Amino acid sequence: MGRQIVHRLLVSFPALLGVLFLCFCLLQVVPADPAMIIAGPEAKADTIAAIRNELGLDRPIPIQFAEYIGRVLRGDLGRSIISNKMVSEELALTIGPTVELMLGAMLIAVPCGLALGTFAAVRRGRLSDRVIMAISVAGVSMPVFFIGLILIQYVGFKWALLPFTGRTGPIWDGGLPSLILPALTLGLVLIGPIARLTRTAVLEVLGADFVRTARAKGLRETVVIVHHALRNALIPVVTLIGLQAAFLLGGAVVTETMFSWPGVGRLAVGAIVSSDFPTAQGAIMILAIAFLTINLLVDVLYVYLDPRVQRS
């Protein structure tokens, strides 16, 4: 298992390098000269030249890229043009809320999706199956912001049940109520695809010989479904969750913007709107690395769940 994880890490390396290169290119191709932005509109030519020299912008591109990787490894992502704070400090403040939001969404989506999908598979062809599948197709087709708008309008505003702007703090410090609506918005979108795939996977497994054997042994139906069918059906579902990571991250950016959630996505959108290139670059890089990490974790989980992969 360890060897497989190391192998997977090595395979991820070119992708990581590609991500870093593209993020590096972001600042190279922006229409504005970062040195001029930092120096301000009134700056003299020699001041701009001095800043260019200090930032290394006058050196050849490959050297600049090598220096950029060095800076990233040291955690130096430059300074925000707007707040003049270190980008790494701003990111450090926002990563926690984003992780919290994504975990909250997964905690809602995965159990609900698994339960609904399994139930639909067991009740195949009946009304409940059709209703669940119709809801899941509708869920897959719904824009994240539509769900968010409905929740804000009714749960947040009309019924005043939960807060709908900002984050009141970490969950262990009374922040749970403010997390519920954003996490629900993001989670509800994911329930559909998970339920759909779980249904297909469980249906496939229910026809397998080992399930027939389990039933023939006289095991209770719940045990057969949960321990034999669902456990084996989890493998494609875990893969799907990995594939949905892009969707999860994209959804998180929209959800954070809607709910004024102080995460990386909102930071990125705000930085782009205000042309704060170093912050935008840092935030986009962190989101891309987060995406690679989720996929890596899914692969590791895959090895853990499927002993056949371990043996291969």
Partner 1 sequence: MSVEALNAPAAVAESTGALSRSGVLRRLMRDKVAALAAIALTVIALAAVFAPVVAPYDPYLTDLTKVMQPPSAEHWFGTDNTGRDILSRVIYGTRNTLMLGLVGVIIGGLLGGLLGILAAYYPRADGWIMRLVDVMLAFPAILIGLAVAAVAGAGLGAVVIALVVATVPDVARVARGAAVGVMGQEFMEAGRAVGVSDRTLIWRYLTLNCISTIFVFLTLRFGQIILIGSALGFLGMGAQPPTAELGMMAAQGRDFLFMAPHIATIPSCAIFVIVLAANLLGDALRDVLDPRLQT
Q: Give the residues lining the site for partner 1 (CB under 8 A).
A: 14-16, 18-19, 22, 26, 29-31, 137-138, 140-146, 149-150, 152-153, 157, 196-197, 200, 236, 240, 245-247, 249-251, 253-254, 257-258, 268-269, 271-273, 277, 280-281, 284, 287-288, 291-292
Reported for 82-89, long-range contacts at CB under 8 A and 24+ positions apart, including other chains, are 82/271, 82/274, 82/276, 82/279, 87/278, 87/279, 87/281, 87/282, 88/282
CB of 264 to partner 1, least distance (A): 11
Report, in angstroms and rounded to the nearest whole number, the Rg of the chain calculated over CA atoms.
24
In the complex, least distance from residue 73 CB atom to partner 1, rounded to whole angstroms: 18
**In 3-state terms, what secondary structure has residue 96?**
helix
In the complex, the smallest distance separating the C-beta of residue 32 from partner 1, rounded to whole angstroms, is 10
Which CB sits closer to partner 1, 23 or 229?
23
Q: Say which DSSP state 169 is in.
A: S
The rounded distance, in Å, linking the Cα atoms of 55 and 124 is 63
**Shortest CA distance to 105 belongs to which of 229, 223, 253, 303?**
253
Which of 59, 147, 71 is CA-nearest to residue 109? 147
Q: How far is the CB of 2 from partner 1 (least distance, A)?
A: 23
Nearer to partner 1, 225 or 288 (CB): 288
Give residue 188's region: left, alpha or beta (phi > 0; psi -120 to 50). Answer: alpha
Closer to partner 1 by CB, 183 or 224: give it: 183
Query: How many of the other CB atoms lie within 10 Å of CB of 248?
Result: 24
State the minimum distance, in angstroms, from the CB of residue 265 to partner 1: 8
Our CB check for partner 1 shows the closer of 92 and 246 to be 246
Residue among 214 and 284 whose Cβ is closer to partner 1: 284
CB of 50 to partner 1, least distance (A): 26
Q: How far is the CB of 17 from partner 1 (least distance, A)?
A: 8
Residue closer to partner 1 by CB (options 21, 304) is: 21
β-pair partners for 79: 86
* d(C-alpha 300, C-alpha 8), whole Å: 8
Q: How far is the CB of 141 from partner 1 (least distance, A)?
A: 4
Kindly tell me which of 50 and 243 has the beta carbon lying closer to partner 1: 243
Taking the chain, what is the end-to-end CA distance rounded to the nearest angstrom? 10
Give dist(CA 173, CA 130) in Å, integer: 42
- 71 by Cβ neighbours in 10 Å (0-12 / 13-18 / 19+) ranks as middle
Closest to partner 1 by CB, 196 or 214: 196
